[in-house]
Structure 1
Amino acid sequence: MARQLSPVGLEFIESAPLRLVFAREVRASPEVVYRALADEVTDWPRWFTAVTLCRPTDGGKGREVHLKGGTRFQESILVAEGPERYAYRIDESNAPGLRALVEEWRLTPAGPGTRVQWTFAADGTAVFRGTLKLGRAGLGRAFRDAVTALDRRLAAAGA
């Protein structure tokens, strides 16, 4: 059963009880990476294997996301400042123990490519926070694998 989460704002990225930050460089420009993140949302399952469905909602102001294992999110886009920043809040989810979640993608030029930084800012029950801390390595691996797959996909497309 889906539950409403706390309607936190961008400030939550810095104040969240649990913040996980991951970064990786890719060969594509920030503009190309931003387009893949923010504009081509239906393609996320092609490069982020944990995602089974991602589609825009509310005229592009939100997203519906399904993950492997059955977790589902209804999201609101908080900021879409191409090509530097893309962030969204989870408004509704069936994830047990989750109270609030904001994810932010920051893109900065890095040589001929882009440094991609993903911040996962969350709050939840003690069990949820503990599980997420224990799962940090797996979440980091999922991020690395996803960004590596995105990099390959963009290179193959000539981006």
Structure 2
Amino acid sequence: MARRLRPVDLDFIGVAPVRMVFARNISAPPEQVFRALAEDVSGWAEWFSAVTFARATDGGAGREIRLRGGGRFAETVLVAKAPEVYAYRVDATNAPGARALAEEWRLVPHGTGTQVRWSFAADGTALFRFALVLGRAGLKRAFRDAVTSLDRRLSTS
């Protein structure tokens, strides 16, 4: 990893300089979605196309993530409250300009399925923040495609 980031807590998600929230309704129930997010970390690479490698670390208290294009992240799980919320912060990354990153996956029952709401929070150099804002549509598409793929995966398991 190139650099350590500023450690942040869950409150950062509401106050970060760059915050993006995306939501999508899927047919899988919250308990199944939570298990896929929090307990089957290595499975992320099978449904989130940007993820090429994922594994739990420190007995599930952390994660190691690698993305298509070479991004690498060492993370600490902030909250794993089944079946409602799964959140983590990035402790170290090779992403240039990043100073703090955190993500939260909130799962809300929606009929027999789930509303999946992903919050992405970041701080960094002005160029890093600008690039994230420019990339908003791409992050939205990546979220939509990942959650749709996860729903398909869960419906066949």
TM-score normalized by structure 1?
0.98
User: Hey, what's the Cα distance between the residues in 1 that align with 2:58 and 2:31?
Assistant: 24
Quote how far apart the aligned CAs of 1:59 are.
Answer: 1.2
The answer to whether the aligner puts 1:38 opposite 2:38 as a matched pair is yes
Shift of 1:43: 0.4
The letter for the 1-side match of 2:114 is T
The separation in 1 between residues aligned to 2:24 and 2:81, in whole angstroms, is 20
Q: Secondary structure at the match of 1:142?
A: helix
Distance 1:2 1:147 in 2: 30
Deviation at 1:88, TM superposition (A): 0.2
**CA–CA distance in structure 1, aligned partners of residues 42 and 70 of structure 2:** 18
CA RMSD of superposed structures (Å)? 0.6
Q: How far apart are 1:109 and its partner, in Å?
A: 0.3
2:130 corresponds to which residue? 130
Letter in 1 for 2:24: R
Separation in structure 1 between the aligned mates of residue 132 and residue 120 of structure 2, nearest angstrom: 10
Shift of 1:156: 1.1
Partner residue, 1:101: 101
Instruction: Report matched runs for 1:44-123 at 5 Å.
Output: 44-123=44-123
> For residue 16 of structure 2, what is the aligned residue in structure 1?
16
Q: What is the DSSP-based 3-state SS (H/G/I as helix, E as strand, rest coil) of the residue aligned with 1:117?
A: strand
CA distance in 1, matches of 2:30, 2:153: 15
Compute the displacement of 1:102 (Å).
Answer: 0.5
For structure 1, the 5+ residue unaligned runs are none
CA separation in 2, counterparts of 1:139 and 1:57? 25
Please give the per-residue CA displacement for 1:93-117, whole angstroms capped at 9, x wherever unaligned: 0000000000000000001100000
Q: What's the secondary structure of 1:6's corresponding residue?
A: coil
What SS is found at the alignment partner of 1:36?
helix
What is the CA–CA distance in structure 1 between the aligned matches of 2:40 and 2:73, rounded to whole Å? Answer: 18
Rounded to whole Å, the distance in 2 between the matches of 1:37 and 1:143 is 13
Q: Given the two structures, how large is their TM-score scaled by the length of structure 2?
A: 0.99
Structure 2 SS opposite 1:49: coil
Aligned length: 157
CA distance in 1, matches of 2:42, 2:55: 5
Q: Deviation at 1:126?
A: 0.5
Identity across the alignment (%): 65
**Structure-2 separation of matches of 1:88 and 1:8:** 9
Q: For 1:149 and 1:58, how far apart are their aligned partners in 2?
A: 28
